[in-house]
Amino acid sequence: MQLILRSVRVVDSASSFDGQLCDLLLVNGLVRQIGTDLPVEEGVRVIEADNLHVSPGWVDMRVLAQDPGFEHKEDITSVCQTAAAGGFTDIVLLPNTQPVIDSKGTLGYVRRMAEGQPVSVHVTAAITKKAAGEDFTEMLDLHHAGAIAFTDGHHPLQNPDLLLKTLQYLQPVNGLLMNRPEETLLTLFGQMHEGIQSTLLGLKGLPALAEELMIERDLRLLDYVLGVTDRQTETSALPVLHFSTISSARSVELIRQAKAQGLPVSCDVAAHQLVFDDSALAGFDTNLKVNPPFRSADDVAALWAGLADGTIDAIVSDHSPQDAESKNLEFDQAEFGIIGLETVFAAAITHNRNLSLTQLIDKLTHRPRQILRLPAVTIAEGQPASLTLFDPTGTWTYSRTASKSKNSPFLGQTLIGRVIGTVHQGQFNHCA
């Protein structure tokens, strides 16, 4: 494949071409030349569009594929097509399938199914068997078999001893533990954020305290594992503990303080958490039922502030496909979850609160790759051409989805921030 990307604006904080308008010649999966008015030789395809921007390929750190076990909701092929349509070149899959990804056999199945897809698929493995929070999986074997990180996914680790020992087990292999912080005994039967809105709507609340207590606990355990001596050597190291989908102002502040103290931690936020607060649930739309729930307007403002100052490292989709039978129910009976792969960028741009385009792209590119120990990708001559093409000011209507499921509150909405396509593994995937 030979392509020229004509008159594109580079958005890449690690590139010497950042902010420049130039042409990119791509040959056999590499950036061969960067310049202006590059000549078009025979057989070279030219890609050009108004206000065309290019960045390193986007990475989504939190995706549920539902395959194996629930392929009627989503399978590996459909989730990869959906990811490519959303501008992603890399996705990280959660282990919450049936069976759970807790053995080399299941891990191998998913990795084989992902071969030849338009995106690179990285698979997490469960910390505990069946993600039940009781007995350890063979984590070291799974690490050597290709697991990119360890998490029980939608099931927060409740047992502090399990979390502590997992941190210890993963230290020798520079492994990453990802945990969604929630003290589940405080959220039992909860349906939405605990506050004035939940009282008005008569729904049992999910208190922010449940998330914040778990973050405090995990940070104390990490501090204990590292010790004073190790802390000094780990300050500049990669994160060893990652908090998934934080949602409250206090959570942001706790992680901000931990980073200031030198703890090797990181965190992400789901794109939809940056858009909605709990007042959006007044109409009982089950497509807005998520966990963690949409919290107060003050919490949303704190999440944006955390992105701006670097406390929050990444923006994720938390793509969680649910079929109609799981959503077309009374609110308290419906499943949690939103599909989000196609709307991460647009949701963040449309509702942006003073985050620069470069800052936003960093949350989808460089920082996720660093956290996940993936090779760096930057726009420079001789580098791999793993790229996302987009128009940050273009408008579009989200009228259909490549996903098998339709549980998105954004369907039918007109959004800002249009994905044009991706270049990955020597292929151009056109999205617009």
The string of DSSP codes covering 207-222 is -HHHHHHHHHHHHHHH
**Residue 2, CA distances (Å) to 44, 253, 427 in order:** 5, 48, 9
The DSSP H or E segment spanning 88 is strand 88-93
Residue for token digits 């493995």? Answer: 125
3-class SS letters over 341-357: CCCHHHHHHHCCCCCCH
Supply φ then ψ for residue 221, to 5 degrees: -65, -40
Beta pairing partners, 343: none
Q: Which residues contact 333 (CB under 8 A, 6 or more apart)?
A: none
Active site members: 318
DSSP strand pairing (387-397 vs 45-47): unpaired
Angle between helices 208-234 and 249-260 (to 10 degrees): 10
309 close to 430: Cβ distance less than 8 angstroms: no
- CB proximity list for 366: less than 8 A, separation 6 or greater: 13, 14, 56, 376
